[in-house]
Amino acid sequence: MKFKIKRFDGKNSKFDMFEIKPKPHMSVLEALFQIQDENDGTLAFRYSCRGAVCGSCAMLINKKQRLACRTQVSEIVGEKVLTVSPYGPLAKPEFKTGDEILVEPLPNLSLIKDLIVDMKPFFKHYESIKPWFDIENTNPEINLMSQEATKKIDKYASCILCGLCYGSCPVSARDKDYMGPAALAKAWRFYTDPRFPGREIMLSRVDFTNGVWACDHVYRCVEVCPKQVPPTNAITGLTRKIILQRIKNILR
Ligand code: SF4
Ligand code: FES
């Protein structure tokens, strides 16, 4: 089986072709290990848990944003893919040609080496919403969560910070100051948590041109998320709450 892999040495990019004998139930991550062991020890990629938990192995596989450890080789071999990437005025069709499996780094982030990208901008946006509880900012009245309240935040709390949504987002592609889907989904997770009394504070952290208002609402982030987090729904929720807050302020 052939793998066409994008390489980057700090200056130049190229594609290398590798041929391996796949094992049954092999994931793309395992194929990368095999290539590293048998063909080229310098091939660089990120991983940690190997079980879709740490989010480190996000990359573009056959032109789709996926986790390498969660993508089975047998499921994507021979796959023909046509995507439009990104959307909007910069849109261009992207084809995956050939029978080999095409592996590229996650888009929208600068390259460090081969399949390793610099995640700093992603985490900078994430940190900007201050996604944590602190002692002054926790409602001491609420220690136990109802099942209903837990359900509301569960689907947003399951984010593993893989960045697949960021790498698929057409707005992040053209605007590096856009907060991005994962940060906004996390803002909604805190906004809807009854233990977090600073709801208005959270709205103010995302209410600006490069925050919720920049979203194109094309649902690419929802489509690629391996944990079924729906960032676009979170963005719609935050936008609605900001508008309601503004109306309330006018009527006061
Ligand atoms: S929202 Fe989904 S795709 Fe985005 S970082 Fe979290 S787990 Fe990854
Ligand atoms: S190695 Fe942890 S998510 Fe893939």
* Closest atom of ligand 1 to CA, residue 122: 5
pLDDT value at position 140? 65
Are 159 and 210 found together in one domain? yes
pLDDT value at position 95? 80
Domain boundary among 90, 117, 144: 117
Are 51 and 86 found together in one domain? yes
Alpha-carbon span 20 to 235, nearest angstrom: 43
Tens of pLDDT, residues 48-99:
999 999 999 999 999 999 999 999 999 999 888 888 776 666 677 788 878 8
* Closest atom of ligand 2 to CA, residue 49: 2
For the Cβ of 139 lying below 6 angstroms from any atom of ligand 2, the answer is no
State the residue range of the domain holding 76. Answer: 2-117
pTM of the model: 0.93
pLDDT value at position 96? 82
pLDDT value at position 131? 92
User: For residue 182, how far is its CA from the centre of ligand 1 (angstroms)?
Assistant: 6
User: For residue 120, how far is its CA from the centre of ligand 1 (angstroms)?
Assistant: 15
pLDDT value at position 135? 64
For the Cβ of 55 lying below 6 angstroms from any atom of ligand 2, the answer is yes
For the Cβ of 215 lying below 6 angstroms from any atom of ligand 1, the answer is no
Are 152 and 212 found together in one domain? yes
For the Cβ of 181 lying below 6 angstroms from any atom of ligand 1, the answer is yes
pLDDT value at position 133? 82
User: For residue 41, how far is its CA from the centre of ligand 1 (angstroms)?
Assistant: 30
CATH code of 233's domain: 1.10.1060.10
User: For residue 11, how far is its CA from the centre of ligand 2 (angstroms)?
Assistant: 27
Domain boundary among 68, 97, 117: 117
Domain boundary among 65, 83, 117: 117
For the Cβ of 230 lying below 6 angstroms from any atom of ligand 1, the answer is no
Residues of the chain whose pLDDT is less than 50? none
Domain count of the fold of the chain: 2
User: For residue 245, how far is its CA from the centre of ligand 1 (angstroms)?
Assistant: 28
CATH code of 108's domain: 3.10.20.30
